[in-house]
Amino acid sequence: MTIKLGVVMDPIPSINFKKDSTLAMLLEAQSRGYQLFHIRQHDIFIDENIPRASMQALTVYNDAGHWYELSPPEDIALEELDVILMRKDPPFDMNYIYTTYMLELAEHRGVLVVNRAQSLRDANEKLFSCYFPECTPPTLVGSQKAQLLDFIATQGDTILKPLDGMGGASIFRVQQNDPNVNVIIETLTQHGSKPIMAQRYLPEIVDGDKRILVIDGEAIPYALARIPAKGETRANLATGGTGVGVELSERDHWICQQVAPVLKEKGLLFVGLDVIGDYLTEINVTSPTCIRELDDTYGLNISAKLFDRIEARLA
């Protein structure tokens, strides 16, 4: 029986062919004979209590000049699919949350959604790390300036970041004597009305912010260490960081072992852990990347491991 796979993603013409992890997944699925369907977030709807989508049959190619072909849209019930990959990039806004509700209804009707819709809502990529205090650096989440200033005074060098950001957006490194610290806090917290995260600055960032991919609780043994550009604190590739492949350290494996049982319990099959030095800083569950970089560096096929686990769930 042909497996029907729908992928909720940003429009496929706009992706970065060289780096896009979703494309790597789709190429693997197609190689296994899956029938693919491209779904944009705003194409999902509910009619007579049945979740549906205006979706397009999709063919993908490992060709930088021609990586996709789309058929005309068809109105199809989501339950006609076997599996849905939820790979829509943030922003994690109310539209994203509404989409997870509709995908959860599809789950109720028998569709496997990766990652599980409820867990996408529950596992904020910044706050989720707070479940593992033994793995994280000193951290404060709050909106009050006095609390944040006290934390900065105690920790010294500090990173401030929004809870809903991605790609290194709006991340600040501050110190107690920074003349801009008050306005940075006021801006990020919207004058005390919005919580943000403060974490002790980790100087090991110069050696890279490691992205560790975890599939159904099992870590890929290599990570992509994202090295900040000269003069830059942020290591994200989107901000000019350089990716370098590294083997997981003993500490990296230990962190993965602490997190894995919770990931499996929550149905989070494909997750990206961010580790700086000895510390877990974020747990990415929405649309983790770095498959193609690691595949190219180490001759891996990470997507194959993911689909082996997906097929085990479908069996």
pLDDT band at 80 (very low <50, low <70, confident <90, very high): very high
Distance in angstroms (rounded) separating the CA atoms of residues 72 and 187: 45
> What is the CATH code for 4-122?
3.40.50.20
Band the pLDDT of 235: cuts 50, 70, 90.
Answer: low
The pLDDT score that the predictor gives to residue 239 is 63
**pLDDT one-digit tens code per residue, 246-270:** 999 999 999 999 999 999 999 999 9
Domain boundaries, given as residue ranges, for the chain: 4-122, 138-200, 204-300
CATH topology of domain 138-200: Dna Ligase; domain 1 (3.30.1490)
pLDDT digits (tens, 9 = 90+) for 83-124: 999 999 988 899 999 999 999 999 999 999 999 999 999 999
Q: Record the pTM.
A: 0.94
Neighbours of 201 (CB within 10 A): 18
Q: What is the pLDDT of residues 137-160, one digit of tens each?
A: 999 999 999 999 999 999 999 999
Each residue's pLDDT tens digit, 22-52: 999 999 999 999 999 999 999 999 999 999 9
Q: Which helix (H) or strand (E) element contains residue 84?
A: strand 83-86
Q: Strand 279-284 relative to strand 270-276: parallel, antiparallel, unpaired?
A: antiparallel
Q: What's the mean pLDDT in 283-301?
A: 97
Could you write out the DSSP letters of every residue in 195-241?
-EEEEE--GGGGG-EEEEEEETTEE-SEEEEEEPPTT-S---GGGT-
pLDDT of residue 237 exceeding 80, the answer is no
The residues that are catalytic are: 126, 161, 211, 226, 234, 274, 282, 284
Compute the CA torsion angle 295, 299, 305, 308 (nearest 10 deg): 120
97-111, 153-167, 187-201, 281-295: segment of lowest average pLDDT: 153-167
Mean pLDDT score, 131-137: 98
pLDDT at residue 14 greater than cutoff 70: yes
204-300 has which CATH code? 3.30.470.20
The CA distance from 25 to 252, in Å, is: 25
